[in-house]
Amino acid sequence: MKRPRLIVLATVAALAATVALGGGALRGSHSPGALAAAPADASAYMALGFHLQALERKTGDPVYLTTSEHALRKALALAPGDRAATSGLATLALSRHHFREALALGRELLRLSPESASAYGVIGDAQLELGRYRQAFAAFDTIARLKPGLSSYARVSYARELLGDRPGAIAAMRLALEPAAASREDTAWTRVQLGKLFWSEGRMGAAAAEYRAAVAVSPGYAAALDALAQVEAARGRPARAIALERRALVSMPTPQSATALGDLYRLAGKTSLAWAHYEQVRELYRRLAANGTKTDLDVALFDVDHGIRLPQALALARRGHAHRPSIDGDDVLAWALARNGRCSAARAYSERALRLGTRDAAKLFHRGMIERCLGNRRAARLYLGRAVALNPHFSLLWAPVARKALG
Amino acid sequence: MTAVLGRRRVAVTTLALFGVALALLMLRFGPSPLAAQASSHREAPLIANDPTADVTDFYMFRSIQPGQADKIDLIMNVIPFEEPSGGPNYYNFDPSVAYTFHVDNNKDGRAGDVQFEFRFTNEIRGIVNGAGLPLAYVALPPITTLSGAGSEGLGVRQHYSLTMIKDGHRTPISPMTDKIAVPSNVGPRTMPNYDGLAEQGMYDLGGGIKVFAGQRDDPFFIDLGAAFDTLNLRSPGTDMLSGFNVNSIVLEVPATLLTSDHGTPATTKQPKLGAYASTSRPRVTVRGGHGRGHGHGDGDGGLVQVQRLANPLVNELIIGTKDKDRWNSLEPQQESAFLDYYENPRLALALSLVFGAPVPATPRFDLENALLKYAADDRRFSELLRLDVSSAPGASWPNGRKPADDVTDTAIQVVGGIAFAGAGDNVGANDKVLPNVFPFLASPWDGRNRVHQNP
């Protein structure tokens, strides 16, 4: 934001608006009232739409996404082709996992504003979730060239992580810390991402330090509390883990936190508490779906992980995969097939899920279990071993299974 | 400016004002950059503010300090709207940003002839660090020096280097050791003699070169509040930026270091300089990450421009919002891609529509001539702040720019043309008196006693 230039523009705009219609230039065929009022309405709806999305980020309540969409659509109707409204709808589509719609909006944004970094951000994010990695990475390289900063460094970091280049991913996320420093929320978010990169290769202490730094700048930051709970659980302190996860869930009721809390209770032998939280998970997903978020893949993974209605879960996974054919979609579908005993079909998807060379313990574990199901004991040991070697605590539920399978 | 106002209709006007205010808020604060937490796919922030790389103003002028008329001063201000009480961390330069002045001295529009690059590092130190206090600065004892006894309370200290780049050749002017950026003005208990402290950060590097990096009062001035209050202008106006600070980099060099023939303002055959300020961050690519475990960037040391600034107004008033990212990513000599904005300025259109007063006919070439060319017959368009160093000290924008220049009024008058002669906001000077000695900017407001009003 260029302050002086902006202010001069605002002054002139204010001067202009203040005396609008006084000069007579707008009289005649146009209705002055409508001309003056219509832009006001569009910007008011736009501001409302963005504010509602901010509320959703703060509270996690997806009903704000629904109301935000109403406001932004109204704004766009009043000001067709408006960049801000289009951009708001694009982020909304990404939040709700409508990746094809987001891609179309991103392309529209690029048409309205050629070479704008945020248009490439939307396009890259959408391409990534649609499994079109070459295009997604090209978009990320373009943003990094146009506007180096938090949003481009974070995206390049994620791309490198997907490609199995964890040192590169960490280096890029470290670069994001400086531009993020201006905002507590951005700093907290970046610290958590950096911590997760350490965590994913088993560097528990380094991860915990980042998570604690996130809580220090943004007390009650749910994503950091949730991540710290995983650290405490891995360190064999279930009571602390449960306390942290409860705080995370109170701070922001997400299905991820409810799942983790349920799992922690389950491991602690508190089965009824566990199932109460699993029921909350379903309720949270229902609420997300009722407000327009596509949850098939996430619900499928939850059900498959927890052994709930496996045939239906497979159908959900197929639907989820169809709209999100990324390596995550491939992985969930592979895992759902495997848990339904369809191990040879599962392996084909698992191969796709690992095609970028991603070093993700959960995906490697899934592959190991599929190989075991197919009777390939050596391959099974290889993949399970790689999963555990990366991070012996990669999952509350499955890391113990992996370790046991390895003997 | 009242001469061109005409009649007003308050009800309609209020609606329009509301829209403008909202638009301003959207521009100033943007869509919130906070990433979503609720969704399971990775959502990085799409639009993030980047204040440490945000250049608010750029100045270049022949020194107005008595006896220093053979010197040229370059100033860049960054970090908009610094609230003086903004602890506990206050405001620092960004160690991952290169802050660079670029000068064109042979009128080819390419400002790579002489460049000065400032880089910063953070040092975490002292009693604050030892005691684990969550404070950057503390009066244990009161901070009276930048180094040695009396500096123990500086928990964070920034060092900086200055490198001159001429014809692609890098010459270190000052290494990353003893030059220290002046910290934010916390208040009288922590920094009992702030001006004395700041003076220690005004370095004479020899050879006629002086540098200063640190916090200053924001020298920009404008009466935005009166304009928003249904053009309730007053005389004198109130500086909307009173009580806010910025971080400044001030560099003074002999004109001989800048001119192509090493001549002084009096002797040079080539007195016209063009310049701009930029911020850059390390270049990264998705596939460039292999083989490095730590450190910055991709190992090649490459940088990519985040922002550039030469003349005031150009980015916000001339260049359309939709082209801003592209504009900032390009070099000034690539300005011909944006000529339409100069030939058909939106500001003039707005002025003409709402004031009903005549503005110069389009396409306009006067803005191109003033902002993009050294002379009317120049065929190379380059958006640079131009200074004729042979002009007497004290020349005003667009012949160079001094902190005291009233660019708001000038812009409206130039863009509006003859009908807007004498128009303005009645804020003709900064809230703090701007000194006519190095570093030409006023001491910053202190965090304890700051007031957001004129003194």
Who wins on pLDDT, B226 or A403?
A: A403
Residue A214 has pLDDT above 50, yes or no: yes
CB contact under 8 A, A2 and B296: no
Minimum mean pLDDT range among B4-18, B54-68, B85-99? B4-18
Closest residue to A151, CB basis, from B46, B296, B412: B46
Using 50, 70 and 90 to split pLDDT, how confident is the model at A252?
very high
Q: Is B83 on the interface with A (CB under 8 A)?
A: no
CA A327/CA A352 separation, integer angstroms: 7
State the average pLDDT for chain B.
83
Who wins on pLDDT, A24 or B144?
A: B144
* Assigned domain for B210 exists: yes
CA distance B26 to chain A (A): 7
Q: Which residues of B touch A57 (CB under 8 A)?
A: 32, 34-38
Using 50, 70 and 90 to split pLDDT, how confident is the model at B301?
low
* Predicted pLDDT at B296: 44
CB contact under 8 A, B81 and A3: yes
CB contact under 8 A, B46 and A256: no
Residue B367 has pLDDT above 90, yes or no: no
* Assigned domain for B62 exists: yes
Residue B197 has pLDDT above 80, yes or no: yes
CB contact under 8 A, A156 and B356: no
State the average pLDDT for chain A.
90
* Predicted pLDDT at B226: 65
Using 50, 70 and 90 to split pLDDT, how confident is the model at A103?
very high
Q: Which positions 139-178 of A are in contact with B (Cβ < 8 Å)? A: 140-141, 144-156, 158-160, 163, 165, 167-172, 174-175, 178
Q: Which residues of B touch A7 (CB under 8 A)?
A: 220, 222, 224, 240-241
Residue B318 has pLDDT above 90, yes or no: no
SS3 annotation, chain B: CHHHCCCCCHHHHHHHHHHHHHHHHHHHHCCCCCCCCCCCCCCCCCCCCCHHHCEEEEEEEECCCCCCCCEEEEEEEEEEEECCCCCCCCCCCCCCCEEEEEEECCCCCCCCCEEEEEEEEEEECHHHHHHCCCCCECCCCCCCCCCCCCCCCECEEEEEEEEEEECCEEEEEECCCCCECECCCCCCCCCCCHHHHHHHCEEEEECCEEEEEEEEECCCCCCHHHHHCCCCCCCCCCCCCCCCEEEEEEEEEEHHHHCCCCCCCCCCCCCEEEEEEEEEEECCCHHHHCCCCCCCCCCCCCEEEEEEECCCCHHHHHCCHHHHHHHHHCCHHHHHHHHHHHHCCHHHHHHHHHHCCCCCCCCCCHHHHHHHCCCCCCCCCCCCEEEECCCCCCCCCCCCECCCCCHHHHHHHHHHCHHHCCCCCCCCCCCCCCCCCCCCCCCCCCCCCCCCCCC
CB contact under 8 A, B43 and A94: yes
If you search the block for the tokens 């329009």, which residue do you land on?
A: B16
* Assigned domain for B434 exists: no
DSSP A190: H
Residue B416 has pLDDT above 90, yes or no: no
Quick: pLDDT tens for B249-288: 999 999 999 999 999 999 999 999 999 999 999 999 999 8
Q: Is A191 on the interface with B (CB under 8 A)?
A: no
CA A194/CA A200 separation, integer angstroms: 10
Q: Is B394 on the interface with A (CB under 8 A)?
A: no
CA distance A323 to chain B (A): 13
Q: Which residues of A touch B231 (CB under 8 A)?
A: 14-15, 18-19
* Assigned domain for B431 exists: no
Q: Which residues of B touch A97 (CB under 8 A)?
A: 39, 41
Which of A133-137, B289-293, B359-363 has the highest average model confidence (pLDDT)?
A133-137
Q: Percentage of residues in chain B with pLDDT exceeding 70?
A: 81
* Assigned domain for B37 exists: no
* Predicted pLDDT at B360: 83
* Assigned domain for B382 exists: yes
Using 50, 70 and 90 to split pLDDT, how confident is the model at B412?
confident
Residue A137 has pLDDT above 50, yes or no: yes
- Residue of chain A whose Cα is closest to the Cα of B51: A182
Quick: pLDDT tens for A160-203: 999 999 999 999 999 999 999 888 889 999 999 999 999 999 99
* Predicted pLDDT at A14: 43
Q: Is A21 on the interface with B (CB under 8 A)?
A: yes
Q: Which residues of A touch B325 (CB under 8 A)?
A: 113, 115-118, 146-147
Q: Is B3 on the interface with A (CB under 8 A)?
A: no
Who wins on pLDDT, B62 or B314?
A: B62
Q: Is A22 on the interface with B (CB under 8 A)?
A: yes
Using 50, 70 and 90 to split pLDDT, how confident is the model at B314?
confident
Range of B348's domain? 2-23+57-420
CA distance B208 to chain A (A): 31
Amino acid at B127: I
Q: Which positions 96-125 of B are in contact with A (Cβ < 8 Å)? A: 96-97
* Predicted pLDDT at A7: 42
Closest residue to A11, CB basis, from B222, B294, B297: B222
Quick: pLDDT tens for B122-171: 998 876 666 666 678 988 889 999 999 999 999 999 999 999 999 889 99
CA B32/CA B26 separation, integer angstroms: 10
Closest residue to B354, CB basis, from A16, A84, A96: A16
CA distance A283 to chain B (A): 14
Who wins on pLDDT, B323 or B431?
A: B323
Q: Which positions 280-299 of A are in contact with B (Cβ < 8 Å)? A: 288, 293, 298
Q: Percentage of residues in chain B with pLDDT exceeding 90?
A: 55
Using 50, 70 and 90 to split pLDDT, how confident is the model at A15?
very low
Q: Is A20 on the interface with B (CB under 8 A)?
A: yes
* Assigned domain for B442 exists: no
Q: Is B57 on the interface with A (CB under 8 A)?
A: yes
Minimum mean pLDDT range among A35-44, A72-81, A279-288? A35-44
* Assigned domain for B177 exists: yes
* Predicted pLDDT at B351: 65
Residue B4 has pLDDT above 50, yes or no: no
Who wins on pLDDT, A81 or B2?
A: A81
Question: How many domains is chain B built from?
Answer: 1
Q: Is B9 on the interface with A (CB under 8 A)?
A: yes
ipTM, two decimals, is 0.85
Side-chain-facing half-sphere of B70: CA atoms under 13 Å: 13
Residue B22 has pLDDT above 70, yes or no: no
CA distance B12 to chain A (A): 6
* Predicted pLDDT at A42: 84
